[in-house]
Amino acid sequence: MMNIDSYTHVRGESVYLDDIPLVNGTLFASVFDSPVAHGKIKSLDIDAAMKMPGVVRIFTAADIPGENQIGGIIADEELLASTHVHFCGMPVALVVATSDEAAKAAVKKIKIEIDPLPVITDPREAKEKNELIIPPRTFQLGDTTAAWTQCDYIIEGSTATNGQEHLYIETQGAYAVPQENSAIRIYSSTQGPTQVQRTTARVLNIPMNFIEVDTTRLGGGFGGKEDQASAWGAMCALAAWHLKKPVKYSLHRMEDMRMTGKRHPYSSDFKIGLNKDYKIVAYEVTFFQNAGAAADLSPAVMERTLFHCTNSYFIPNVKATAYSCKTNLPPNTAFRGFGGPQGMFVIEAAIAEAAAALNVSPILIQQKNLLKTGDEFPYGQIAQSEANECWDKAVNLYDLQKLQQEVDAYNNNNKLSKKGLALMPICFGISFTKTLMNQARALVHVYTDGSVGVSTAGVEMGQGLNTKILQVAASIFSINPERIKVNTTNTYRVANTSPTAASASSDLNGKATEIACVAILQRLKEVAAEEFTADISSIEVKEDCVFVNGKQTDWSWNKLVQAAFVKRVSLSEHAHYAPPGIWFDTTKEKGHPFTYHVYGTAITTVTIDCLRGIYEVDSVKIVHDFGKSMNPIIDIGQCEGALVQGIGWMTMEEMLYDKEGKLKSNALSTYKVPDIYSVPKEITIHFLETEKENLAIFRSKAVGEPPLMYGIGAYFALFNAIKAFNPAANIPYDAPMTPEKVLMSLYPQTLKENK
> Among ligand MOS, ligand MTE, ligand HPA, none, what binds residue 343 when CB lies within 5 to 8 Å by partner kind?
none
User: Residue 433 touches which of ligand MOS, ligand MTE, ligand HPA, none (CB < 5 to 8 A by kind)?
Assistant: ligand HPA
CB nearer ligand MOS, residue 317 or residue 500: 500
Should residue 502 be labelled a site residue for ligand HPA when binding is judged by CB under 6 A? yes
Report what 662 binds from ligand HPA, ligand MTE, ligand MOS, none; CB cut-off 5-8 Å by kind.
none
Residue 505 contacts which entry, ligand MOS, ligand MTE, ligand HPA, none (Cβ below 5-8 A, type-dependent): ligand MTE
Q: Does 505 bind ligand MTE (CB under 6 A)?
A: yes
Residue of 41, 57, 37 whose CA lies nearest to 49: 57
What distance separates the 2 farthest-apart alpha carbons in the chain?
93
In the complex, what is the shortest distance from the CB of residue 320 to ligand MTE, in angstroms, rounded to a whole number? 23
**Identity of residue 286:** T
Binding site for ligand MOS (CB under 6 A): 191, 223, 226, 334-336, 338, 501-502, 705
Size of the site for ligand HPA (CB under 6 A): 12
Site string for ligand MTE, 336-375 (x = CB under 6 A): x---------------------------------------
434 is a site residue for ligand HPA (CB under 6 A): yes
CA distance linking residue 256 with residue 222, whole number of Å: 14
CB of 638 vs ligand MTE, minimal distance in Å: 6
What number of CA atoms fall less than 13 Å from residue 188's CA on the CB side?
Answer: 36
The reply to whether 338 sits near ligand HPA by the rule CB under 6 A is yes
DSSP H helices, 337-490, are: 340-358, 362-368, 387-397, 400-413, 465-477
Q: What are phi and psi of 638, to 5 degrees?
A: -65, -40
Which residue in 225, 242, 262, 304 binds ligand HPA (CB under 6 A)?
304
The alpha carbon torsion through 485, 488, 489, 491 (nearest 10 deg) reads -110
Q: What is the 3-state secondary structure (H, E, C) of 23-56?
A: CCCCEEEEEEECCCCCEEEEEEECHHHHCCCCEE
Q: How far is the C-alpha of 487 from the C-alpha of 497, rounded, in Å?
A: 15
Nearer to ligand HPA, 227 or 389 (CB): 227
- Residue closer to ligand HPA by CB (options 498, 694) is 498
Residue 336 or 393: the one with the smaller Cβ distance to ligand MTE is 336
| CB distance 61 to 80 below 8 Å | yes
Give 152's contacts (C-beta < 8 A, 6+ positions apart).
Answer: 274, 275, 276
Contact call for residue 304 and ligand MTE (CB under 6 A): no
* CA–CA separation, 755 and 747 (whole Å): 13
Amino acid at 347: I
Q: Provide the Cα torsion 321, 323, 324, 328; round to 10°.
A: -150
Task: Count CB-CB contacts under 10 A for residue 681.
Answer: 12
| Spatial distance between the Cα atoms of 617 and 681, rounded to a whole number of angstroms | 7
Of the candidates 433, 645, 700, 745, which one interacts with ligand HPA according to CB under 6 A? 433
The whole-angstrom separation of Cα 625 and Cα 628 is 9
Residues 6+ apart with CB under 8 A from 335: 164, 166, 222, 223, 224, 262, 263, 264
**Segment 106 to 125, residues that bind ligand MTE, using CB under 6 A:** none
Distance CA 702, CA 706 (A): 8
465 touches ligand MTE by CB under 6 A: yes
| Annotated catalytic residue, options 170, 654, 705, 753 | 705
Q: Is the dihedral of CA 255, 261, 263, 266 positive or negative?
A: positive
User: Choosing among ligand MOS, ligand MTE, ligand HPA, none, which partner's interface includes residue 220 (Cβ < 5 to 8 Å by kind)?
Assistant: ligand MTE
DSSP state of 466: H
Give the Cα separation of 607 and 717 in Å (integer): 9
Partner from ligand HPA, ligand MTE, ligand MOS, none contacting 311, C-beta within 5 to 8 A by type: none
3-state secondary structure of 726: coil
Contacting residue, 228, 638, 666, 738, with ligand MTE by CB under 6 A: 638
The listed partner (ligand MOS, ligand HPA, ligand MTE, none) that binds 610, CB under 5 to 8 Å by sort, is: none
Residue from the set 131, 214, 653, 705 that interacts with ligand MTE by CB under 6 A: 705
Please select the residue that binds ligand MTE; options are 462, 648, 661, 706, rule is CB under 6 A.
462
Distances (CA, A) of 376 to 278, 310, 492: 19, 11, 43
Binding mask 405-444 for ligand MTE (x = CB under 6 A): ----------------------------------------
What string marks each residue from 27 to 46 as x (binds ligand MTE by CB under 6 A) or -?
Answer: --------------------
128 is catalytic: no
Q: Whole-angstrom Cα distance, residue 420 to residue 721?
A: 4
Sheet containing 539-542, strands listed edge to edge, beginning at the edge strand earlier in sequence: 539-542, 545-548, 551-556
Pairing mode, strands 137-141 and 317-326 = antiparallel
How far apart are CB 502 and ligand MTE at their closest, in Å? 6
Quick one: 173 or 641, whose CB is closer to ligand MTE? 641
Residue 344 interacts with ligand HPA (CB under 6 A): yes or no? no
Question: With binding defined as CB under 6 A, does residue 704 bind ligand MTE?
Answer: yes
Task: Pick between residue 175 and residue 338 the one whose CB is nearest to ligand HPA.
Answer: 338
- Footprint of ligand HPA on 217-236 (CB under 6 A): 226
Site residue total, ligand MTE (CB under 6 A): 21
181: left (phi over 0), alpha (psi -120 to 50) or beta: left
CA distance 441 to 445: 13
For helices 340-358 and 298-307, the axis angle rounded to 10 degrees is: 40
Q: Which is nearer to ligand MTE, 290 or 463 (CB)?
A: 463
Rule CB under 6 A: which of 209-238 touch ligand MTE? 220-223
Closest CB 227 distance from ligand HPA, rounded Å: 8
Q: Which does residue 31 touch among ligand HPA, ligand MTE, ligand MOS, none (CB within 5 to 8 A, set by kind)?
A: none
Residues that bind ligand MTE (CB under 6 A): 220-223, 336, 461-463, 465, 500-506, 638, 641, 702, 704-705
Question: What are the residue numbers of the active site?
Answer: 705
Which stretches of the chain bind ligand HPA, using CB under 6 A? 226, 297, 300, 304, 334, 338, 432-434, 437, 501-502
